[in-house]
């Protein structure tokens, strides 16, 4: 099936229902569907070839998402580009992934005009502005003019399941991003996994709130919603108070946020008095979450927390920890369960492999490896990186972990993040879980820093809650009884804010860089 089939299923069943709501404006399935068809037919009419690359440079906007659907209808491959990226990163992604077509919000056209001389492949820029009389920058054509005369009907072209549907930049938290080539098949399996893991009964309403950037996982998470005729409420920018208001106003049943944003949301004054009775699934993922703060989230939002584990190479849906799995015997589960990432999804096989690619038994730690239709084709124009990552059909995720005897997958850490101190392996996530429990701590990142005797010293970089005070000595004393001498941080650095990507992930490579400048270590 094609990725657009997920939207079209909802369109056929509920043509006049609101597919998207942005502010006070509702867009029906027919409005978004017909616009996406006009975009697709206009692209095909201009001779766009299958698997040509296209991007959308825009904030969260239903019209921008309709352009993504339109590119898929024309057989193009979508390159997600977050407008929050610095200009040089936008240029690098568009150039490295050979983007030929760019749909762009008006306010970003000056950036595109500046970058366009360096983008040799880019031949078409379409402005999402409404003013057809204005002359947009960057030699752009206004969307209404671009689609003028194009048919509202479904394009005749139907992409093959194994054709390229997207080049997803990798997270970039440990190095320069690569481009994971995902197909219509892999993105469809991702959507199906979410439908399996987060079911609804009969005509139960589905209202999905998008607060994270639709340029990444939050966009593809709308596919299982629209497949079931649900409504997607779109936030143009993150704002905790607005988010809480929208949950109540629209009776939101599901949303996704990364852990760092959930931490801040939990600090919102008066959050305990808010009405979250409509919520069914509050998805968290993209980074490890403090089990202490997860307990707090369950107490505040109810028994709705839902973890998803995936990566660009196997998008969003390798494993899930469902709401009821956060509990044992009617009580919130202990850390052993809450620290799990869930059970593997049904259409993938997940195993733990050792350094010689042998499958390890339950309880033994090794690299998490995945195979199946969820896995990418490879990295764009990087066969050497592909060969290092996909070996004998197994995607090597770079995550270290184990499967327990109940079939739950646990992520111990990123393989590249492991600290070797005095010959002992220290997993940063274990140390971070302890630091997160301190009431003064908002967030933290644990890294190894150079040490003349031990090789690496366990170092914590800590962001405190607003108004909180804590000394290095106090935090070390708090950690030592729980971690012992080897794992307790030897150095604590307090910062106003940890560096994060546009998607909310803590950038450990940026944290490590000044410590390791002039020293030999992979960053």
Tens-place pLDDT, residues 5-63:
999 999 999 999 999 999 999 999 999 999 999 999 999 999 999 999 999 999 999 99
Cα–Cα distance, 479 to 489 (Å, whole number): 8
pLDDT at 451 over 90: no
Closest CA to 333 of 406, 394, 399: 406
Whether 397 is covered by a domain: the verdict is: no
Average pLDDT score over residue span 103-130: 93
The H or E element containing residue 169 is strand 164-169
Average pLDDT score over residue span 344-369: 96
The string over 168-201, giving b where at least 16 C-beta atoms fall within 10 Å of a residue's C-beta and e elsewhere, is bbbbbbbeebbbbbbbbbbbbbbbbbbbebbebe
Q: Confidence band (pLDDT; 50, 70, 90) for 177?
A: low
The H or E element containing residue 483 is helix 472-487
Residues 6+ apart with CB under 8 A from 18: 26, 27, 28, 231
Cα–Cα distance, 275 to 340 (Å, whole number): 28
What pTM, to 2 d.p., does this model score?
0.86
Range with the poorest average pLDDT among 253-262, 424-433, 436-445, 492-501: 424-433
* High-pLDDT (> 70) share of the chain, %: 97
Average pLDDT score over residue span 499-520: 83
Which residue pairs from 302-305 have beta carbons closer than 8 angstroms and sit at least 24 positions apart in sequence?
Answer: 302/276, 302/277, 303/327, 304/276, 304/279, 304/280
Backbone angles phi, psi at 449, to 5 degrees: -120, 155
pLDDT at 101 over 50: yes
Q: Which two tokens stand for residue 293?
A: 């703060």
Mean pLDDT of the chain: 92
The domain that holds 435 is classified in CATH as: 3.30.300.30
Domain boundary among the residues 139, 168, 183 is at: 183
Whether 492 is covered by a domain: the verdict is: yes
In this predicted structure, what is the pLDDT of residue 133?
63
Whether 7 is covered by a domain: the verdict is: no
pLDDT digits (tens, 9 = 90+) for 229-258: 999 999 988 789 999 999 999 999 999 998
In SS3 terms, 66-102 reads as HHHHHHHHCCCEEEECCCCCCHHHHHHHHHHCCEEEE
Backbone angles phi, psi at 212, to 5 degrees: -80, 165
Whether 175 is covered by a domain: the verdict is: yes
Domain boundary among the residues 123, 153, 183 is at: 183
In this predicted structure, what is the pLDDT of residue 492?
95
Whether 448 is covered by a domain: the verdict is: yes
Whether 416 is covered by a domain: the verdict is: no
Cα–Cα distance, 227 to 223 (Å, whole number): 6
In this predicted structure, what is the pLDDT of residue 303?
98
Q: Residues 269, 290: contact at Cβ < 8 Å? A: no
The domain that holds 104 is classified in CATH as: 3.40.50.980
The string over 282-321, giving b where at least 16 C-beta atoms fall within 10 Å of a residue's C-beta and e elsewhere, is bbbbbbbbbbbbbbebbebbeebbbbbbbbbbbbbbbbbb
Cα–Cα distance, 264 to 270 (Å, whole number): 13
Cα–Cα distance, 393 to 130 (Å, whole number): 47
Range with the poorest average pLDDT among 53-57, 185-189, 283-287: 283-287
In this predicted structure, what is the pLDDT of residue 500?
87
Domain boundary among the residues 149, 183, 217 is at: 183
Whether 252 is covered by a domain: the verdict is: no
Gyration radius of the chain over CA positions: 23
501: containing domain: 428-516
Strand duo 231-234 + 409-414: pairing: unpaired
Q: Residues 386, 179: contact at Cβ < 8 Å? A: no
Q: Could you tell me if residue 502 is left (phi over 0), alpha (psi between -120 and 50 degrees) or otherwise beta? A: alpha
In this predicted structure, what is the pLDDT of residue 521?
52
Whether 305 is covered by a domain: the verdict is: no
Cα–Cα distance, 446 to 511 (Å, whole number): 9
- Number of structural domains (the chain) is 2
pLDDT at 110 over 80: yes
pLDDT digits (tens, 9 = 90+) for 197-213: 999 998 899 999 999 88
């Amino acid at each position: 099936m094609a990725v657009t089939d997920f939207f079209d299923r909802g369109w056929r069943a509920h043509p006049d229902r609101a597919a998207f709501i942005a502010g006070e404006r509702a867009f029906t399935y027919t409005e978004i569907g017909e616009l996406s068809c006009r975009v697709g037919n206009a692209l095909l009419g201009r001779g766009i070839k299958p698997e040509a690359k296209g991007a959308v440079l825009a904030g969260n906007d239903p019209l921008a998402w309709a352009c993504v659907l339109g590119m898929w209808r024309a057989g193009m491959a979508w390159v997600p580009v977050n407008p929050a990226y610095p200009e040089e990163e936008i240029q690098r992604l568009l150039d490295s992934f050979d983007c030929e077509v760019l749909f762009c919000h008006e306010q970003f056209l000056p950036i595109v005009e500046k970058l366009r001389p360096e983008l040799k492949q880019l031949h078409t820029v379409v402005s999402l502005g409404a003013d057809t009389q204005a002359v947009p920058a960057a030699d752009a054509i206004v969307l209404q003019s671009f689609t003028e005369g194009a048919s509202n009907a479904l394009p005749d072209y139907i992409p093959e399941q194994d054709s390229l549907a997207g080049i997803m930049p990798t997270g970039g938290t440990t190095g320069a991003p690569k481009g994971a080539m995902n197909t219509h098949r892999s993105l469809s399996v991702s959507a199906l996994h979410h439908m399996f893991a987060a079911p609804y009964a009969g005509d139960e309403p589905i209202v999905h709130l998008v607060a994270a950037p639709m340029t990444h996982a939050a966009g593809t998470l709308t596919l299982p919603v629209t497949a079931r005729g649900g409504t997607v409420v779109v936030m143009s920018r993150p704002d905790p108070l607005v988010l809480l208001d929208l949950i109540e106003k629209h009776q939101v049943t599901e949303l996704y946020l990364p852990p760092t944003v959930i931490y801040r949301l939990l600090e919102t004054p008066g959050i305990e008095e808010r009405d979250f009775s409509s919520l069914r699934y509050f998805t968290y993922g993209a980074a490890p979450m403090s089990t202490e703060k997860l307990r707090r989230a369950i107490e505040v939002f109810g028994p709705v927390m839902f973890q998803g584990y995936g990566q660009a190479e196997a998008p969003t849906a390798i494993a899930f920890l469902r709401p009821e799995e956060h509990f044992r015997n009617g009580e919130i589960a202990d850390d052993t369960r809450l620290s799990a990432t869930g059970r593997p999804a049904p259409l993938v096989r997940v195993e733990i492999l050792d350094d010689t690619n042998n499958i390890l038994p339950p309880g033994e730690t090794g690299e998490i490896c995945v195979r199946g239709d969820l896995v990418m084709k490879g990295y764009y124009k990087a066969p050497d990186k592909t060969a290092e990552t996909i070996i004998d059909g197994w995607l090597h995720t770079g995550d270290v972990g184990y499967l327990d005897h109940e079939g739950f997958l646990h992520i111990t850490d990123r393989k590249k993040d492991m600290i070797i101190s005095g010959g002992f392996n220290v997993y940063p996530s274990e140390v971070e879980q302890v630091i997160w429990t301190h009431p003064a701590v908002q967030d933290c990142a644990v890294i190894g820093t150079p040490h003349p005797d031990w090789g690496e010293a366990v170092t914590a970089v800590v962001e405190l809650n607003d108004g909180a005070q804590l000394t290095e000595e106090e935090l070390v004393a708090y950690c030592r009884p729980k971690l012992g001498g080897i794992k307790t941080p030897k150095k604590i650095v307090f910062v106003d804010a940890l560096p994060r990507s546009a998607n909310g992930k803590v950038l450990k490579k940026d944290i490590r860089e000044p410590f390791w400048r002039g020293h030999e270590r992979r960053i």
